[in-house]
Structure 1
């Protein structure tokens, strides 16, 4: 029985039918407390607000998409946690798969990550032993510190000096048995700075003394202005020095095409897409193209749903629109991608042609739950050209057929948050 005092209040929005009954049972078994169960096509925003839920579970299907737009004012409340499930999938889910979904729902309701079935918890019980535990001194009683002394001696004079202490020209031998003497060695890779030009006499002069490490600099604060050169002697060659060299005035490097991440998903994909995009930081500077097959093609509502969970701006891709980094684009079935002078632009096309249109060197492809297996070969071909390719695996992947083929081919795999982290590490975001 659900402990009402500790359970989170849940509002279930679903049309009457098998999906609604299954989701009601799942909420109760997951430890939630139903404060509202209603058909979203007849529910008004005020009634939803008055019920006071902290979690709203929505059974998605094309028939309720208009109703969700009408309920936007209530669903956008910052205190609400929104959980979406596909109605047809919920109606068919049973047995082991139903229990797995209940465990994931329980984790979301109670804010923990334990989704293992009973009996698979990590055993943490320790068998008691007589006596006191060993002290740190006892644990390190057999350890030798000789190698630490040798490392300290080797690194002592590689440390940068400062102006408060200047070591003697002939340092005394270190008081270690393993080292008899030690001579400082100056790094050979960094040359000493040149003296001012007016101090160089016509004849060869002794090399200037090397200043301390703290006086070295790669870029001077003030630009050096050479004084007017004196008239050289008739017998001396004229030495001309160029003052045009600079370590900071470099030619700008032309940027390549904007990096694009193509996300392919289908059945079970909406939740996977939300988890992936919610894990991407707002500093992610690549364009994310989401190709998610929906019955009825109601992609406008998908834009609103995705925008609630990601810090990146979300929009519906339109033909002729340029592809810009740091944005999420939902791709309709009839919109593809083309390159115009190295820049991406959305064009009229088919969903199947998007993969082959991507610039491999600056692109990535993620195949999530329900991705089309017919696109696996094109994705692997893009990987051979240099694209970063990965697939979703794990208990929450309802249709892993396409993603599993990527894993068999040696591509990275993981759950959506792990894929988001790996994607950021790949591009150093």
Structure 2
């Protein structure tokens, strides 16, 4: 059921006359929108747009209206105004099931609900929501706080007499037999005390050492005679000729070999220092689709001027009008916005619109663009990168993005009012990832990248 004229949001349709404008008008009427202004942007004055007091502005994008949008920028940037952008060429040829699907999403946007199902399925009973309660969940131990323990202690004491015995442990007597007397610790110590063993008699002292008589040896018998046992003057740990070779050995130690000297004078390092990769291969990837231009614009508008990571925008556009998207996003953010070019190195703090045929690869200097599309997540360093799945993001990318989060990447998705197609982002929220509107995601992203 469409919204009544009293409850429907007033909508301004800005498009040049033609098939695209007719299709957009039909879609707005079918979605329950109340058109308060329908005009060619090239012929519309800002005062006329403000006087119509719309809450939603639907713009058919094409190169012929770019200058007009810049002229109307003061009114279009009003915070209370919701902007919807649609490619004029795409709107002109949308038919059949695709057109009906787009109308359902447009109705959800205008009427402020999340029902985008075909007619007949919107009243299906949803799964009951889990009622949240304050406080910690109950613990298993809480169920036994007041349980009596004496019964279990008595039962254990009775069963103890039936336990099997071994050579070390002697089972006590039966419960009906008289128990042996229990001694105190002091009594056990007193009973265990034994008289000290007798002290052994000291051995008799050794006889006094008798003086050794040293025989007199003549000079002719010096070499052949042995030194007397009690004469220590001729004992030595080193041979006499060892004293003569000692200085030479010392000099050999002081002078290092030429090969060793060259190693000592060289600059050695256990770890190679790669100055080009000091920041790592980190970047922020924004993935969007239908309804994505508005979401990307709001995220970029929330990033600070000193944002320290490159930002990649992957937004599929029919017709490949990425140059127009560069101009639109450049007006929404203080960061530089350019079109990705093969061979170009990624600069921290710059925003790059990424066409379908451009990929990203690692190099000795960091990340750079290549002329062949590839898996962007493989090139990014997870612990220094982030991925935002915005409105219309491809659901097939949810699994790779969650795998990227498992490696340490920061992942979030757009949900809530203003999200045209939250299918992919909703799966991220179910998996425990961050989720919210573009302004919230931009603030969280800025905090994460500043850490």
TM bin, normalised by shorter chain, reads 0.5 to 0.7
Matched residue, 2:23: 18
Pairwise mapping of residues 170-319 of structure 1 onto structure 2 (< 5 A)? 255-257=278-280, 259-319=282-342
Structure 1 residues 80, 385: closer, same or farther in 2, change over 3 A?
A: closer
1:263 & 1:422 partners in 2: Cα distance?
A: 14
Corresponding residue number in structure 1 for 2:63:
66
Would you say 1:361 and 2:362 are equivalent positions? no
Give the whole-Å Cα distance in 2 for the aligned partners of 1:9 and 1:393.
23
- Tell me the distance in 2 between the aligned counterparts of 1:273 and 1:95: 22
Aligned match of 1:246: none
Contact 2:282 2:309 in 1 (8 A): yes
Structure-to-structure mapping, 1:304-343, within 5 angstroms: 304-341=327-364, 343=366
- Match for residue 38 of structure 1? 39
Q: Indicate how the Cα distance of structure 1 residues 12 and 25 shifts in structure 2: closer, same or farther if over 3 A, else same.
A: farther
Deviation of 1:266 after TM superposition, in Å, equals: 0.8
CA distance in 2, matches of 1:325, 1:381: 25
Q: Is the 8 A contact 2:281 2:380 kept in 1?
A: no
Establish whether residue 382 from structure 1 lines up as the match of residue 407 from structure 2.
no
Aligned residues of 1:391 and 1:404 also touching (Cα < 8 A): yes
CA–CA separation in structure 2 for the residues paired with 1:24 and 1:85: 17
User: Does the 8 Å contact 1:338/1:346 carry over to 2?
Assistant: yes
In 2, the alpha carbon distance for the partners of 1:256 and 1:96 equals 41
Is the CA contact (8 Å cut-off) linking 1:280 and 1:310 kept in structure 2?
yes
Question: TM-score, structure 2 length as denominator?
Answer: 0.51
Q: Is the 8 A contact 2:391 2:422 kept in 1?
A: yes
- Cα drift, residue 53 of structure 1: 2.4
Query: How far does residue 401 in structure 1 lie from its aligned partner after superposition?
Result: 2.0
The 1:427/1:317 distance shift into structure 2, 3 A limit, reads same
Go from structure 1 to structure 2 and tell me whether the alpha carbon gap of 1:417 and 1:344 turns closer, same or farther (over 3 Å shift).
Answer: same
Taking structure 1 as the reference length, the TM-score comes to 0.54
Give secondary structure in 1 for the equivalent of 2:355.
coil
Structure 1 residue 70: Cα displacement = 4.3
Q: Distance in 1 between matches of 2:102 and 2:59?
A: 15
Q: Distance in 2 between matches of 1:373 and 1:79?
A: 31
The equivalent residue for 1:53 is 49
The higher radius of gyration belongs to 2
Q: Secondary structure at the match of 1:305?
A: helix
- Distance in 2 separating the partners of 1:96 and 1:255: 45
DSSP 3-state at the match of 2:45: helix
Range that drifts further, 409-418 or 294-303: 409-418
Q: Is the partner of 2:44 in helix, strand or coil? A: helix
Take 1:73 and 1:274, find their aligned partners in 2: how far apart are those partners?
Answer: 15
Question: Aligned pair in 2 of structure 1 residues 27, 421: CA closer, same or farther (>3 Å)?
Answer: farther
Alpha-carbon separation, structure 2, partners of 1:426 and 1:307: 23
- The unaligned stretches of length 5 or more in structure 1 are 105-250
Counterpart CA distance in 2 for 1:79 and 1:396 is 16
Change in CA separation of 1:9 and 1:385 when aligned onto 2, cut-off 3 Å: closer
* Superposition deviation, residue 51 in structure 1: 5.5
**Does residue 1:85 correspond to 2:81, yes or no?**
no
Q: How many residues align?
A: 268
**Partner Cα separation in structure 2 for residue 417 and residue 50 of structure 1:** 26
Q: Is the 8 A contact 2:309 2:349 kept in 1?
A: yes
1:410 aligns with 2:410: no
- What SS class does the counterpart of residue 21 from structure 2 fall into? coil
* CA distance 1:366–1:96, change in 2 (3 Å): closer
Change (3 A) 1:20 1:91: farther
- 5+ residue gaps, structure 2: 114-272
CA distance in 2 between partners of 1:90 and 1:75 (Å):
29
Moved more, 313-322 or 372-381: 372-381
SS in 1 for 2:445: helix
